[in-house]
């Protein structure tokens, strides 16, 4: 598996084709999720190079589908993975593991394997981080651009609902992020009069 060629392919495609109005789902998000996934994987006891490369590849590809579609982008990400990864030395079974991880990031999340739980947690790592407000603002801007959200009051209610129903899937993510995620939820509820 040539992870460097796969990474170059992904970043070339994102640079050439990603909409400038993807304020949240930009290259920075792909980098962020890749870093979070590898940190979670190591903390979860994964240390063999093949598995780490599979996780890294899934994180790199997980939002590549945004270059052609906004809805159902995960399925498009898998299609692009299946088309390109054979050229980089990945076999069919490895690609299917990668696609399983990519599909595990679909909302609502329903990961079934340890690797899928890691990537699902990495994708929403920001929910329990100190940069929550800044990252959430980029998602608001992206959704508002697409007329999927109208104002900050309705957005805050969406975020409250999302945070109340979200769970981290790995023990590591729960330990690292649950406390700060609960703090964000409490702050949002206070803004909305205890909604």
At residue 191, the pLDDT reads 84
pLDDT at 192: 73
pLDDT band at 30 (very low <50, low <70, confident <90, very high): very high
Q: Is pLDDT above 90 for 194?
A: no
Is residue 193 predicted with pLDDT exceeding 70? no
Work out the mean pLDDT of the chain and round it to a whole number: 96
Are 67 and 18 in contact by the 8 Å Cβ rule? The answer is yes
pLDDT for the residue 149: 95
Q: Which residue has the tokens 């495609």?
A: 13
According to CATH, what is the number of the domain 3-191? 1.10.3210.10
Can you tell me the mean pLDDT for 131-146?
A: 96
Q: Which of 161, 163, 157 is nearest to 178 (CA)?
A: 163
DSSP annotation string for 9-32: HHHHHHHHH--TT-SSSSHHHHHH
């Amino acid at each position: 598996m040539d992870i460097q060629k796969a990474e170059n392919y992904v970043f070339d495609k994102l640079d050439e084709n990603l909409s400038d109005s993807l304020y949240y789902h930009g290259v920075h998000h792909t980098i962020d999720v890749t870093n979070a996934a590898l940190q979670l994987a190591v903390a979860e006891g994964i240390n063999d190079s093949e598995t780490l490369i599979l996780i890294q590849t899934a994180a790199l590809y997980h939002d590549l589908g945004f270059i052609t579609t906004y809805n159902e982008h995960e399925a498009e990400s898998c299609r692009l993975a299946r088309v390109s990864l054979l050229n980089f030395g990945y076999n069919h079974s490895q690609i299917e593991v990668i696609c399983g991880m990519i599909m595990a990031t679909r909302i609502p999340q329903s990961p079934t394997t340890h690797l899928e739980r890691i990537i699902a947690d990495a994708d929403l790592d920001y929910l329990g981080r100190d940069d929550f407000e800044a990252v959430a603002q980029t998602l608001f801007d992206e959704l508002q651009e697409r007329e999927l959200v109208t104002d900050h009051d309705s957005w805050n209610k969406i975020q409250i609902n999302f945070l109340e129903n979200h769970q981290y899937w790995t023990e590591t993510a729960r330990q690292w992020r649950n406390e700060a995620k609960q703090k964000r939820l409490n702050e949002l509820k206070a803004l909305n009069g205890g909604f």
